[in-house]
Chains A and B, each alone.
Chain A
Amino acid sequence: EVQLLESGGGLVQPGGSLRLSCAASGFTFTNYAMTWVRQAPGKGLEWVSGISSSGDSTFYADSVKGRFTISRDNSKNTLYLQMNSLRAEDTAVYYCAKDGCADVICYFDYWGQGTLVTVSS
């Protein structure tokens, strides 16, 4: 059974940093790209960032480019999102999702339960 377990969310002040983690199990982690998608309270889905199976290629939404960094540790089956210079508009539930593809960002066939990030003073 595929499981994705996010952690690291919480309350942070504007300008602060957080590091999200996503522990994956139940599939061969090294074979698939991975993605972060967020959802602001009461709003729709917004793709944030993706990373290829090897970690060689990374992709970002314009809204987070230069502030967020996606990475993965294939030896630990874990995906990360380092979030710096956080803004109020980054407040959202952040979902980790498994891609259906290896080296490009495509559809997302498994999702974690999400972790809430709140940016507020």
Chain B
Amino acid sequence: DIVMTQSPDSLAVSLGERATINCKSSQSVLYSSNDNNYLAWYQQKPGQPPKLLIYWASTRESGVPDRFSGSGSGTDFTLTISSLQAEDVAVYYCQQYYSSPCSFGQGTKLEIK
């Protein structure tokens, strides 16, 4: 099974500053035949279900603000929030869907400094 490890576990960033969350998979999630990375990012606010932000490692879901971006390939991925807004306070999860069982990272709690 593929293990997803996020860093850091928690993060405090000032409003308007950049926030960076990392995700590492225990094996590559890049499918060479189509050059796609099978990696998604979710945002979960308290008392709410998760919300899809990014899929295929860098494709932003419709309606997601462009301050959110995803990058990386193979085993190392990054979610970047270019200019933190108050409404971005949440827990963020990465997920691999390269192989079954799909798996999530442990989550990164993002707060305002």
- The residues of A with any CB-CB pair to B shorter than 8 Å are 37, 44-47, 50, 59-62, 95, 100, 104-114
Contacts and interface: CB of A to CB of B under 8 A. Distances in A.
B3 to A, nearest CB: 13
Interface stretch (B16-24, B49-57, B73-81, B82-90): B49-57
Interface of B: 1, 38, 40, 42, 44, 49-52, 55, 61, 93, 95, 97, 100-107
Contact of B50 (A45, A61, A62, A100): A45
Nearest to A60: B101
A40 B38 CA distance: 25
Contact of A59 (B42, B61, B101): B101
Interface centre among B42, B49, B50, B97 (most CB of A within 10 A): B49
Contacts of B105: 44
B55 A44 contact: no
